[in-house]
Amino acid sequence: MYCTHYYNFGLKTQLDKLISIRKTNGLQSESVVNIVRAEQNLYAAIIDAKVAMKIGSGAWSPGTGWTLAASGTDYAVWTTGTTPPPPTGCTQPSMKLRGTFNNFGSATMTCKGSNVWELTNVTFGGAATDRYKFDVFGDWTRNYGDTNNDGIAELSGGDISLTTAGTYTIQFNDSTLRYTATRTTTPPPPPGVSVNFVCQNGTTVVGQNVHVVGSIPALGSWDVTKSIKLDPTNYPTWNKLVTVPASTRVEWKCLKVAPNTPTVWQGGANNVVTTPASGSVTATASF
Ligand SMILES: [Ca+2]
């Protein structure tokens, strides 16, 4: 190669590509050149069994198993197109995750063994059009989607929809083609509803108050030190509005609580209230 070719003849781009092919395939001055054609209008050779090339106007190709890597006026170069071996534990040589979350760029997935590729911390915004696909090489030549949404991908299948906002760990099994998207962020709690907890016959001594405690965090999760103090609105009836999750079965009890004094529990079985989907409800019990 001569400088004039590189800089003066407008061949820089083509020469750069050939240099790249030469480097990628490890060709050097001791490479074995197998000349397969040497005619007036055609010179063809295979170098190190990795790169095939022809010069001249004559037609020639190395046949199946070769991929055209570069070509121009009266020359063409092919490579064997072999791909790197797959990582231990996986079948495909690589795997990319592409979707609306990265504008269909190629996020590299990691082989976790047992044919499972994984990418963590993938954040989706919850848009109705959010989706993704698996792509072996990042060039769409071998990509997987899920046309019938059964959790098992198909080669060149449809985009996989993911419309619930959150951060996900996405896995893809390159043997079974089963994929999963597991949300790793805690979903926001459902909107609360109001329960008016009422404890009747709550007769108390000075310093003693009536509380409720129950099976959900809003009622202290049965921890008396986190129980909710009621108000003696209509003594000896005590009550308080407490915001609790909607559509939830709650077990609860009335307590009499005072410092340095044993807690007095309402007798009998736990009270049960199932909260409504919206609005408010009253739950009443008695000492
Ligand atoms: Ca499917």
Each residue's pLDDT tens digit, 192-240: 899 999 999 999 999 999 999 999 999 999 999 999 999 999 999 999 9
Q: Which two tokens stand for residue 89?
A: 């534990």
Residue 18 has pLDDT above 90, yes or no: no
Per-chain residues with Cβ under 5 A from ion ligand 1? 146, 148, 150, 152
Residue at a domain's end among 151, 183, 215: 183
CATH of the domain at 211: 2.60.40.10
Q: How far is the CA of 95 from the centre of ligand 1 (A)?
A: 18
In a domain, 89, yes or no: no
Q: What is the mean pLDDT of residues 134-155?
A: 94
**pLDDT at residue 83, as a whole number:** 60
Q: Is the pTM of this model over 0.85?
A: no
The pLDDT-based confidence of 84 (bands split at 50, 70, 90) is low
Q: How far is the CA of 168 from the centre of ligand 1 (A)?
A: 20
Q: DSSP letter at 40?
A: T
Residue at a domain's end among 28, 52, 79: 79
Q: How far apart are CA 1 and CA 10, in angstroms?
A: 14
**pLDDT at residue 190, as a whole number:** 64
Assess whether 211 and 261 both reside in one domain. yes
The pLDDT-based confidence of 41 (bands split at 50, 70, 90) is very high
Q: What is the mean pLDDT of residues 250-267?
A: 95
Q: How far is the CA of 84 from the centre of ligand 1 (A)?
A: 28
Q: How far is CA 284 from CA 87, 234, 252, 253, in A?
A: 63, 14, 10, 10
Q: Answer yes or no: are the C-beta atoms of 51 and 21 closer than 8 Å.
A: yes
Report the b/e string of 101-118 with b at 16+ CB within 10 A.
beeeebbebebeeebbbb
Q: How far is the CA of 123 from the centre of ligand 1 (A)?
A: 23
**pLDDT at residue 192, as a whole number:** 84
DSSP string, 203-224: ---TT-EEEEEESSGGGGGG-G
Q: How far apart are CA 108 and CA 65, in angstroms?
A: 27
Q: What is the mean pLDDT of residues 27-47?
A: 85
**pLDDT at residue 81, as a whole number:** 65
CATH of the domain at 175: 2.60.40.3620
How many structural domains compose the chain?
3
pLDDT-above-90 percentage for the chain: 64
Q: How far is the CA of 245 from the centre of ligand 1 (A)?
A: 36
Residue 104 has pLDDT above 80, yes or no: yes
In a domain, 91, yes or no: no
Q: Which two tokens stand for residue 236?
A: 């000896």
Owning domain of residue 109 = 96-183
**pLDDT at residue 5, as a whole number:** 55
In a domain, 279, yes or no: yes
Q: Which two tokens stand for residue 213?
A: 């405690």
